[in-house]
Structure 1
Amino acid sequence: PKSKVIDNAYQVGDTPVSPQRPKIYLAFLMVGLLLPFSIIYANQLLDNKIHNKVSLEKLINEVPILAELPKMGRNEDMLIRSDDRSVLSESLRILRTNLDYLIKSKNDKKNNIIFVTSSVPGEGKTFISSNLSMIFANTNKKVLLIGGDVRNPKLYTYFAQKDVDKIGSRSRGNVDIGLSEYLHDPKIQSKDIINSMLVHSTTFDVIYSGKIPPNPAELLMGNRMGSLLDEMSEKYDYVIVDTAPIMVVTDTMLITDLADHIVYVTRAGVTESKVLEHPVNLWNQGKLKGLTFVVNDVKESNLGYGGKYGYGYGKSVKKWWKF
């Protein structure tokens, strides 16, 4: 051969000089540890939403929180049944108990007019007002649910769909007129707009919002709204009004002085922390008397102690070996 080894290479050790694998592994390990922690920290730093009762308590100081409600499953009914033992139904019963305590704490009057509102649409105020009416009615009390959001009526989606007959029967006589017609026409009496409902064997009455009027604020500012609530307060044990969001329109603020209690609905992962400064400031100014909060749509992992460990409490579970 024409080539030959003149001098052998100088060997430093048994390992190659490059690539230095231990250093590369260490660098990737550090990056692998720092990257997820950095993402988590940045996410928490930029997160401006509430997620459960604990995060809400840090923002509202002395305003009471009545309950936190879990996220609904896909197959769950929008309206709970009297024999329902799910965590959602138990959370609603906690809401009922806490609210009923506040109602009975004042003995000078009936103290039974409850407004349910929120900051913006989509936070669950109609869902809570409907189920709150159901769960109060389950105690054999006379309950009236009023659709006070005359600009964006939603009660029809719960009680007036065609498939509502599958869960009960109801009176269909007065669905064409509602609150807006009553406020506009002095000839219409309260009995003309009340619909008796039977849903899941639970009986209560509903006043729908009626047709969307061109002047909702002016209608609500009239004397008939106050007269209606005074009359219904004497006839019913609980009067629950599903009102408009206060950050969107002025309608609810025009009639807050008619309410004994205002249940303010927030939604986990949706309601921004800064938005809650508005109702708290109004409460401090005396414009939202009887203000309380509810956290809706909370993930199971974010629920408090009772929510995490109370699933199916007292419910008999069928063993897998028994048929």
Structure 2
Amino acid sequence: MKKIIPIAEALRARVIIRNGALLAFVIYASESLGLPEGLYMALAMLTVMELNLGGGILAGRERLVGTILGLLAVVIGAGALSEAPAPLRVGISLILVRIFCFYFGLNSGYIVGGHVVSGSILNHNSDWWFYASWRTVMTLAGVVLGIWCSTQIYSQLATTEWEQKARIWIGDIASCLSKLNNSKGSIELFISLRNRRNLLQQEIPKLVCEQSVLDQDFNNLFWAQNCLRCGSTVISCCRDLSPLFGEHLQKPLSLELPIDNLIFWGSAKLKVLSKSVESNDDEIDLISRELSLIRADLMRISQCYFDVVEISANSALVLEQDPNLNLLVLSRLLLLVDSLIEISPLI
């Protein structure tokens, strides 16, 4: 019986083979040419190529800037403090690396900078400039080569991975919306959707770097921002409305609202957007027209209810229900339908 290898594992195997072959070639070439500190070129390439293109660019930036800041700290520690004991020079240089990396907003670059400091002062005290400067040059070459290889040889795009995660997230939001009338309003569900939104949002810088290197327009980035903003609004509206609908409602709403139609067409649009196949423009247009009609209906109901509330405030008329509840429901429904209309198809 043949073992079926998951697609993700097969893709990962290709990346491992690509990286291994390229690194072996680079190390062989650097040894043959006698390049000083050529190992750090291979390490920089590996840092970039192990991740998708966007993530690799960010990781390469961390490594390169951290190396440069480490070189700067070595110049200060080993040059200006050449008469000080080695432990003191190392300590001051490491402190400088941490300060520099904090100033430039690096998350992990200080680790590489610390390696430059310790390697220069402790292991290459007599020729620290030769070691540190060539290590910086080789790191720069490795980052550039890594980015080039990632774009030309079996490229892994951060946009593709982000789109897959976003489709699953949108599909789960559609499921949450479809159960709005009879859900238990579990706060854990909304927290989970929010946390996944935050994870998607943290990957936006990868998309920016990737689009910049590929010299493409930023349509994918605009779509990603639209997806996160509208999806977050739908989650918030469902969270606020779920305790007010279904079996959790303490007393019936005094308004006749197109809630069922909104839930049906809204969840239908989100389900279409969550599909991995190309969206059907005609289907999207039909759903958007229905949502626009629902929005117009909600606007008419809102205007009529505002008139009633204003009349009751200026007379002795007492409303059967607290107007704040109906105003809350109307505002959330309008916000919900606006987000469902505005959310764009996944490119």
Q: TM-score range by the shorter chain?
A: under 0.3
Compute the TM-score of the two structures, normalised by the length of structure 2: 0.21
Q: Give 1 or 2: higher helix fraction.
A: 2
Compute the TM-score of the two structures, normalised by the length of structure 1: 0.23
Higher relative contact order (CA 8 A, sep 6+): 1
Q: Give 1 or 2: higher strand fraction.
A: 1
